[in-house]
Structures are given as C-alpha cells and as structure tokens.
Chain A
Amino acid sequence: MTAAVLPWVLAMLGAAIFLALYRLVRGPGLPDRILALDTLYVVTTALLIALGIWLDSGVYFEAAMIIALLGFVGTVAFARYLERGDVVE
C-alpha cells in the first residue's frame, strides 16, 4: 500500500515545490522570496525522505539531515541582511 501511495506523495511534494517557486518568482517583496526559498528547502527535506522510502535506500538521509541542520543558515543570512544591511557584524 505504501508503494501505491508513494508516487502520489511525491507528486504532492513536487507540486508544493512549484507553488513555492511561484511565490519566489512573483515576490513581490524580498521577505516573500526569502520565505519561498526557505520553504523550498523544507519541502526538499521531506522529498528526500520520501524518496528514500520509495527507493528503499538510506543514502538520502545525510542530505536531508544537512538541510534540516544548516538549510536555515541561508535564510538567517538573508533576513539579517534585510535587517542590518550586513551579515556578520
């Protein structure tokens, strides 16, 4: 049963990625785009785990883990840049 629903789950996650992409391209504001990029990273994490189940393989965990751990550094840097015009003070 899991095998049967997995393509649909992947499709849903794919659709989520494209919705986030839409927001990133449309904007309008910089915070919107940053939020969209952050969402892209988060959905990608989910996608990688789902892929691991689908392919019955553990090799995607590291990538998922890295995004979960460090993916937000980019977001924080963007946000800090908007706030202060500088990343490291």
Chain B
Amino acid sequence: MLFALIALPFAAALALMLAPRAGRNLSAWTVGLAALAGLAILFVLAPAVFGGEVLRARAPWIEAIGLEFFIRIDGWAWLFAFLVLGIGALIVLYARWYLAPEDPPRRFFAYLALFMGAMLGITLAGNLLLLIVFWELTSISSFLLIGFWGRRHEARAGARMALAVTGGGGLALLAGVLVIGHIVGSYDLDLVLASGELIRSHPLYVPALVLVLLGAFAKSAQFPFHFWLPHAMAAPTPVSAYLHSATMVKAGVFLLARLHPALAGSTEWLLIVSAIGLSTLVLGAVAAVFQQDLKGLLAYSTISHLGLITLLFGLGSPLAVVAGVFHILNHATFKASLFMAAGIIDHETGTRDLRRLGGLYAAMPITGTLAIVASLAMAGVPLLNGFLSKEMFLAETLAFESWPSYQLAVPVLAVFAGICSVAYSARFVHETFFGPKGHPPKTPHEPPRLMRVPVEILVVLCLAVGILPNLVVADLLALGAGGVLQGPLPDYHLAIWHGFNWPLAMSAISLAGGLALYAILHRRGIARRIDLLSRGKIAFEGIVAALIGLAQRVTRTLETGRIQGYLLWLLAFILLVGASPFVDLAAPLSTKPAQPAGPMAVGLWLLIVAGALTVTVAYRRRLVAVIAMGIVGLGVSLVFALLSAPDLALTQLLVDMVTTVLLLMALRYLPAISPPEPERLARWRDGAIAVAAGLGTTAIVYMVLTRPHPSIAEYILATTMSEAGGANAVNTVIVDYRGFDTLGEITVFAIAGIVIYALLDRVRLTALTPFAAKGPAPHSLLLNLCAQLILPLAVAVSAYLFLRGHNAPGGGFIAGLVLAIALILQYIAAGSEWVDERLDHDWNRWIGAGLLAAAATGIGAFAFAHPFLTSSTPHVHLPLVGEIHLASAMGFDTGVYLVVFAACLLMLAMLGKVSRWEARD
C-alpha cells in the first residue's frame, strides 16, 4: 500500500502521456483521482501513524551504492504528504477552470502529476539517496511546469533560472548527503536520524552541514538564492500556487526539519540557519511592499515567510520547531488561497498589475472577501491561523538566547518584518479591491463557481484553525512536530488568548506600524513608483554569461581546426598515463626469454618498417602516403595470418580496402601537397612526442608479451563449444563472451556513421585535387562488366563467411565488409546515381535495423530466463557450408553485419554527396 501511494501520481502521469486525446476534464479527473486516492490511503494509514508507529516498506534498488527504495512514513512525512496531496487536489480542481482552451491540458496535468509524485517521494523517502532522486525530479518537473508557456520569453528564462539554481543546490545536497552517508555508514534515514551525536562530533560535520544547507536554501529560495522565485511567477498561476505555497519551496524547509535531529543543535547550525532565515525574512518583506505585480508581491511574501520558517528551525529549540511546523501548515493554506485568488483576478480582469487594478470588490465580492480573509491571515491578524504561528514565532524570538546584540536584533527585526508584512497585505487588499476603479483590459466579474471552491475550502480552514486551533489542528501539529523532533514534544498549548504579554504587544506594534506605513506610502504614492526587483537576476545572468565566455575561450584555445594540435594533446596525455607504470624502473623489461625470430618474422618486420618509413617520409605528398599505407596494412594482416589469426587478417585486409577508398574520396578536397610545418621547434617537438609514444607502446607490448600472465584464452578455448556453441573462438568472443562489448562497439560505429551524415549532409567543398576530371563521366565498359560480375560472387562469399563464421574464420563483421566493398566497387564503376536508383540507400535506416536486431537478440535471452545476450543453440548442417550455428548469436551477428555494412556505405555516400553538390553548382 505504501508503494501504491507513491506510484499513484506517476501512474496518472503515465496514463495521461499515453492518452493522446484526453481533454481538460479527463486529464483533471485522472490527476485529481490520483491525489484523492493518495489521500484515502493516507487516511487508512492514519490510525497507525497517529498511534506513534513508523511505517516502512522496502524494495532493493542499487544495493552496491546503498540506494534502497525505502518508503518510511512517520508523523512528519505523513503530515507533509497530506499537505502535498490535499493542496494538490485543490490545485487540480482550480487548474481545470484556469487553463485556457488553447493550453494543452494533457501535458499540463501530466507535468503536474509528475511533480506531485516527485514531491511525495521527497516526503516519504526513507533513504537519503532516494530522497535526492526525487529532489532532482522536482527540479526537473518544476522546470517543465514553470516553462509551460514555452513560447513566452520570460517563462523560458524563469524556468531555466529555477532549474539552474535549484538543480545546482541539488548537486550540493547530493555531496552533503554523500558526506553524511560516509559519516554514518548508511543512507538509511532511521540510522541517520539516530546518529545526531556522531554526525555533529565528526570532523566533516561542517562541510556536510554547509552542503546540505546550500541545497535546502536554494530550493527554499533563501537569501542569496531567493531571486529565482519571483521569476518563476511566469508559470501558470495554479503552478505558482502549488509550487510556492505547499510544495517546491517547502521542500527545502521540509529537509531542514527532516534532518533536524541529525544536524541541528550546534553553534554552526544556529548561526548559519538563523542568520540566513532572518535576512531572508526581512529582505523578502521589504521587497514585497514595493511590487507592482500581484503575483510578484505574493512571491516576495513567500520568500519572507520561508525565511521566517528557516529562522525558527535555526533557533533550534523544540518549541521553535513546533512553531516552524505550524507555520508551514498555515502558510500553505493562506498562500495557496491567495495565489489562487490572484489567479482569478488575473483570469477575470486580464492583468495582475496593481497600478491598473482597484475597486474590484464591487465586481467580485465573494472572491474579494475570500482574498481579504486570507490576507489577514498573512498579516497575522487574530482569529486567523497566521496569527497563532506568528505569535509563537515572536515568543521564540524573545526566548532566544545568544550574544547580546544578536539576541536583541532577532526580535527587533522580526517586528520590522511584521510591520512590512502588514503593509504589503494591506496594499494587496486595498489596491486590488478598494480605492478608485482601475482600468483592466477585461470587465471583471466573478469566476466560474467551481474555480472558487478550492479558495473557499482553504479560507474556511484558515478561519477554523484560527478560531478553534485545539479542535482542528492540534493533533496534526503534534504528529508533525513529533516526527521532526523524533522525541518527546515540548510543553505548549494553542490558544488565541495568552494574556497581555510581549508577543501580543509585538503583534500590536506590527499591525499598527504596518497600517501606518502603508498609509504613508499610499498617500505619497511611493509604493507605486518604486519597483524593487531583485539584483539577483543580474548577478545570475552575469555569472552565466561569464561561464559561457570562459567556455568559448577554452574552446577557441583548444579547438584550432588543426589536427596536429589535437593529436599533440591526445598523445601527450596518453604518454603521461602510459608512462606512469614505468616510473618503477626497477621492474625488469622481461621475465622470460623472448622467442627467436624466424626469417618470415624478420621479413615481415622489415616490410612494415619500410612501409611506415615511406609514409613518414612521403607524408606531405598525400597520395603517395595513402599508397604506402597499403604496405603497412598488408604487412599487418600477414602478421595476423602468420600468428594463426585468420579472422584478424581478414578484418585487417577488408578495413584497409575500405579505408583506402574513403581516404581517396577525402583527398579530392585537399591540396595534393600538404602545407609545410610552420616551425622547426614544433617539428622537433612533434617528432619527439611521436617517437616517445611509439617506443613506449613497443615497450609496453614487449613487457606484456615477455612475462607469464594468467590468460583467459585457455578458458575460452576450452569452453567455446560447450558454452557458446561455436568452434571459432574469435567469433564466439565477439558475439557471445564479449557480446555486450560488441553491442557497444557497433553502437559507436553507428554513431560515427550518423555523425558523418550530420557533418557532411549540407557540406559544399571545392575540389583541390590536381587530378581534375576531363570530359564527361567515364563509363569503362570493362570495369562495369567486372563489377557486375563480382557483385553476385561477393554476395555469395559474404553469405558464406557469415554463415560459417561461428565455427570457422568469418562472421558478421567480415561478411558485412565484403558486401560493402563489393557495393563500393559498383559505385566506382557505375557512379552513385546509377547505384542509388537500384538500391534502398537509406543507410541510416539500415543502421537502425542492425542495432535493433542486435539489441533484440540480446533481450530475447530474457525470454528464456537467461541474462542479457546469452546465446543458445540448435545446429544445422548444410551441404558445402558445413555446420551452421543457428543460435541467437546468429541474430546478433546479423545486427553486426547490417551496422558494419550500412555504416561503411553511409560514409561513402556522404563523401560522394559532397562532390555531387559540386557537380550541380
């Protein structure tokens, strides 16, 4: 049941993605039902949780890194999940009426469900790594939601900023969690919460704390990361109402509370958390007064209230924690209703600009009344829920003991923030609903009935909590706070009237001061003239621009367009890495005598050396160098043949042939003589590096070959028949033992082919070759006949090599190359147009088919309850060809065949296309 709880929203998201025609109602119902079902499950679980039980459900995930799918529900998790789902259900109802007909509802509600699931995951995760997973998921899904109106610039910018800030915070949090895991030895929340002493006394405590706090503060829009939140107001209003009241930004304070037993209680915690919370509280409150956008005002007010909650958790006393939890609840209710009210106003008037609104009370009395009540809660007026938690907050600021000046500053600034909050609440109400009539684009009227229902429910809750706290909320609060503290609750009682005391006086000062402040600002029109936007955006954009600039500079420095430069880096790095084992010079170069070199070996060695030297001497004359490279290729394949590796010899020969043709096609666009190297010094340097790399490779090979080492070869040779059902060990290694490697390799090969396609698709180059075509395209009759004669023969040879590859030299790779070369011959003989007319030359599709065939074979092994890519095998005997291995490996080899063949021809076709462009011009 616990897993069902977390799976519900994701299932809803998935269902919506698969239902192409879901309209507004169906989409809303799907997600709404998921939320309601989740709530129902929560109610079923409630007796146990309220009874003090902690519910757990576990499923293994990646055990090697300590990641477990562990759902853990204690009081705090239950309370927060209730908040997420409850507000979520109301938001769904609201959004159903808010969305315009042209907004795609399916996409919106799928994102919303995704976000709801991620948020639920954060609250219920019992493993810190699992929590990180869901944390990142909220960052991503909130990005999608904020950028929902992706055609608007500010929506894109706001979404990007939110993702960068909260995602960056997520990285810090991940690092912090890893440190905690290192300290505790587990990511299990039960263990972590029980290890508070251990964590706080560990030398790595401060780094862990700072990293976790970075993550939480970035998410909860605490100073100095607060700037992303106002820009996220570009989202549709239901999203703002959800993200900024109950969920996204609350994730940060949720985490502060969650890890309270593990991290809190130290001086560092107190200093950092309370100071950040205090500055955010004050800054947000001041900025909120000077906003012209209705949602902007609410956004800064949210920042301020989050600061208040952070400050409470920072103060660290159990009572402060209770107050913090209480304020989380209260803020969620009144802020969600305010955002929705703002959305209704925007929806019905067409603007959110305070300067254009006014006098709306007459047009929308019910919405007005609701918004006014919620604003009073925000301002902390008695008989409303905001008053109760604010009172507790003020009491805590007074009870706080620290250095004298700080101890004084906290309550004073708290009162100042209270004054501001009353002022912006008053401004919100007054300039929207009263005063002179504004000039909104649309004629205002009440919204559809059902759109108002969520607001009504929330406002009633505000009142109920405010008037009858003990009846309505006391149990919930005790449950949540108990979950946070993981221990006994402090002594407190909820009441509207505590007698005449300091907190009451401070509330009174806030109220009176706030009203006075607003009166002054309003009369002079100051609030309307100043638009206090955060400087954070400028800083953020500056940092982003600087980073991009840096990246561009690095790219320009490294990416010179000269292959010599790239090779220099590459070889230098290889030398560095490759040389490190040689630092131990005491190691003998060889530990067993080398085999004597026969005349054949010496001859081949001379052949290859002569070829390599010719290439080196002639390298500036490119065509000569390409010809001379043929010597080396031939020599190497002879070496393979002599060392009894016919498969390798074949592969080498064929690869050499393809390479030659492709190189020649590229040579057309290069001058016949490459330009001289610029400097003598650079030449010597390059030469030295090349020689060092060559000698180093030789030394490594020599050392490997001349010492006894355990080899897997015996095992493979002994088992190739029984395990892989093939006598040719080279082929069984390719398609069976190392089949996964091969799958990776052909994927890389396919990617290379597609990259060439992408790079050359629209390229036009000027031919620089001195061998210019004279006259019309030649059609050598002899060559044409020969090519047409060769093709069927090559197809037969290719099939032959392919079929018997499992038991004798051959296989998909080799057979694919044979077919490719035969077709290349057709291209050479008859020209590309002639061949393309007669052949399905959509090589990309061939490559895709090959990859699919290989992967499908691998997956097919699952059907027989074997691991990925296991082969197994009936044998068939065909005349002439011999024993055939009709194994699943055959399907895999077909994939290899197709990819190799098609990628070769794709490269050829793309190089050929460049010259066809040219011919057309």
* Chain A interface SS verdict (over half): helix
Chain B 884-920 interface 0/1 with A at a Cβ cutoff of 8 Å (1 = within)? 0000000000000000000000001001100100010
Q: How far is the CA of A9 from the CA of B653 in the complex (A)?
A: 23
Q: Assess whether A87 is in contact with B828, with CB atoms less than 8 Å apart.
A: yes
A66: Cβ under 8 A from any B Cβ: yes
A62 in contact with B665 (CB, 8 Å): no
CB distance from A37 to the nearest CB of B (A): 5
* B713–chain A nearest beta-carbon distance, Å: 17
Q: Is the CB of B771 within 8 A of A77?
A: no
Interface size on B, residues (CB 8 A): 66
CB pair B653 A63 closer than 8 Å:
yes
Given A63-B653, A86-B668, is A40 in contact with B767 using a C-beta cutoff of 8 Å? no
* A80 to B606 alpha-carbon distance, docked (Å): 30
Segment 30-87 of A: residues with Cβ below 8 Å from B? 30, 33-34, 37, 40-41, 44, 47-48, 51, 59-60, 62-63, 65-67, 69-71, 73-74, 76-78, 80-87
Q: Does B654 contact A (CB under 8 A)?
A: yes
Give the complex CA separation of A82 and B767 in angstroms. 14
Contact residues in B for A59 (Cβ distance below 8 Å): 644, 646, 808-809
Q: Which residues of A are found within 8 Å of B668, using beta-carbon distances?
A: 81, 85-87
Contacts of A37 in B (CB 8 A): 627, 630-631
Q: Is the CB of B771 within 8 A of A76?
A: no
Least distance between B779 CB and chain A CB atoms (Å) = 10
Check if B277 is an interface residue, CB within 8 A of chain A: no
Contacting residues, chain B, for A30 (C-beta < 8 A) = 623-624, 627
Is A88 interfacial (CB-CB < 8 Å)? yes
Q: B634 to A21, Cβ gap below 8 A?
A: no
A85 and B607 contacting across the interface, CB-CB below 8 Å: no
Total A-B pairs, Cβ < 8 A: 155
Choose among A30, A62, A83 the residue with the greatest number of B CB atoms under 10 Å from its CB.
A62
Interface string of A1-35 (1 = CB under 8 A from B): 00000000011001001100100110100100110
Cα-based distance from A73 to B770 in the complex (angstroms): 22
Q: Count the A residues whose beta carbon is within 8 Å of the partner chain — how many?
A: 44
Q: Beyond A18-B607, A25-B614, A88-B832, is A73–B824 a contact (Cβ under 8 Å)? A: yes
B638 touches A (CB below 8 Å): yes
Residue of A whose beta carbon sits closest to that of B626: A78
A17, A44, A88 pick with most chain B CB within 10 angstroms: A88
Chain B residue at minimal CB-CB distance from A70: B821
Q: Which residues of B contact A88 (CB under 8 A)?
A: 665, 824, 827-828, 831-832, 908, 911-912, 915
Residues of chain A within 8 A of B810, CB atoms compared:
62
Looking at B533-541, B793-801, B846-854, the stretch in contact with chain A turns out to be B793-801
Give CA–CA (A85, B667) in the complex, Å. 9
Residues of A near B771 (CB, < 8 A) are 81-85
> Which of B634, B656, B831 has the most C-beta atoms of chain A within 10 angstroms of its own C-beta?
B634
CA A62 – CA B818 in complex, angstroms?
Answer: 11
The residue from B603, B634, B642, B915 contacting A41, defined by CB atoms under 8 A apart = B634
Minimum-distance CB pairs A-B, first 10: A85-B771, A85-B769, A88-B912, A84-B773, A59-B646, A88-B827, A74-B660, A33-B627, A37-B630, A77-B661
16 A–B contact pairs at CB < 8 A? A18-B607, A21-B611, A30-B627, A37-B627, A37-B630, A40-B630, A47-B638, A63-B641, A69-B790, A70-B654, A70-B821, A74-B656, A74-B661, A81-B623, A86-B767, A89-B773
